[in-house]
Amino acid sequence: MFQILDYLDQSMKKNSDNKIYGVLSYIAPEVLNGDPYTTSSDIYSFGVVMAELSSGKPPFYERKHGLSLALEICNGFRPEFGKGTPEIYKKLLYMNEYDKD
């Protein structure tokens, strides 16, 4: 199993076209800034999913998805969590990329 994952990881690195893929709401700020996808960016995306589950609303549902929103995300704008959400889930969105490793 791990050999398959290692192979996929290496082939993805070799075939990287430096494009950003995904739904804007779920893409980590560091990826929007041009850094590669990492475990850290996955943690951020998981935090966005947790925000959606706790609030019952899609992230940034009231906003037009475009360059303006991307810039705001890079500057710290985050989706809202529902009341009573444990702090540990909220921290997933506010950790910097070095804290997540």
CATH number at residue 87: 1.10.510.10
Classify residue 7: in a domain, yes or no. no
Classify residue 4: in a domain, yes or no. no
Give the model's pLDDT for residue 2.
46
Classify residue 11: in a domain, yes or no. no
Classify residue 88: in a domain, yes or no. yes
Total of domains in the chain: 1
Give the model's pLDDT for residue 1.
43
What is the 3 state secondary structure string of the chain?
Answer: CHHHHHHHHHHHHHCCCCCCCCCHHHCCHHHHCCCCCCHHHHHHHHHHHHHHHHHCCCCCCCCCCCHHHHHHHHCCCCCCCCCCCCHHHHHHHHCCCCCCC
Q: Which residues of the chain have pLDDT under 70?
A: 1-17, 96-101
Give the model's pLDDT for residue 47.
94
- 64: containing domain: 17-94
pLDDT in tens, 43-63: 999 999 999 999 999 999 999
Classify residue 2: in a domain, yes or no. no
